[in-house]
Amino acid sequence: MLESGYLAALIGPNGSGKTTLFRCISGTARRMQGEAVIDGISLSQNPAAYKEKIGYISENLSFFQEQSILENGQNLGIYFPEWSLEDYYFWLDKMELAPSRKVYQLSKGEAMKMQFCFALAHQPRFLFLDEPMAGFDPVFRRDFLAILKDVLEKDIGILLSTHITEDLDKLADYVLVLKNGRLIRNDTKESLEDQYRRSAREKNPDADPFKRFHIKDLLS
């Protein structure tokens, strides 16, 4: 379960099923089993209304390549009742993207930024971010983490997967661990940190009880 205004980190080794899970809960792939529901709206029963509630950012870019960033927003935003051109401009400025740029001219990182801006412009309740920082340089990656904090303050929930788990150490409220397509852990970061330290002390009574916990430790 995701909560508005909180960030859940989705982690797991390569091939554990993170991208498959994102595709299932975003409605871009057929689900094998289970159900995704937001505010009582079921993905299987009312996919259009469900998708109005989410913003999904991944490596797959579904925009018109020959059109500009602005033109894509104007032409595709009409499919989302709450879409705001003013908000689109706001986030494009935050992401340092010129509205006049053609989509085919964008780098991988810039394409991710554009998806992020478009998603936020239609006022989602939740963001599903599958490796959103892929292609970001270290400087902008730090800025992006600050932007995510702003998003959380707008009471938008975030499910985020990244191989750079250090970025999640301070930002994540919950941690979900996938292994072989199964969710093996789902708890608050604080609870998992306590469990990790207790386990470390049981294995080694002399272990430092104040050793800093890192989310990546859950994968070891």
pLDDT tens per residue across span 100-124: 999 999 998 999 999 999 999 999 9
HSE (side-chain half, CA atoms, 13 Å) at 79: 11
**Closest to 119 measured CA to CA, from 106, 109, 132, 108:** 132
Q: Helix count (H) and strand count (E) of the chain?
A: 7, 8
- The pLDDT assigned to 200 comes to 74
Give the confidence band of 209 by pLDDT, cuts at 50, 70, 90.
Answer: low
Average pLDDT over all residues of the chain: 91
Give the confidence band of 138 by pLDDT, cuts at 50, 70, 90.
Answer: confident
For 74-86, what is the mean pLDDT?
Answer: 95
- Start-to-end Cα distance in the chain: 25
pLDDT tens per residue across span 4-51: 999 999 999 989 999 999 999 999 887 667 889 999 999 999 999 999
Residue 39 backbone zone (phi > 0: left; psi -120 to 50: alpha; other: beta):
left
- The pLDDT assigned to 77 comes to 95
- The pLDDT assigned to 31 comes to 66
Is residue 157's pLDDT more than 80?
yes
Give the confidence band of 210 by pLDDT, cuts at 50, 70, 90.
Answer: low
Higher per-residue pLDDT: 196 or 113: 113
Q: What does the buried/exposed string (b/e) look like for 3-32 if buried means 16 or more CB atoms within 10 Å of the residue's CB?
A: eeebbbbbbbeeebbbbebbbbbbbeeeee
Residues in contact with 141: Cβ distance below 8 Å, sequence separation at least 6, in sequence order: 133, 164, 167
Q: What are the beta bridge partners of residue 38?
A: 41
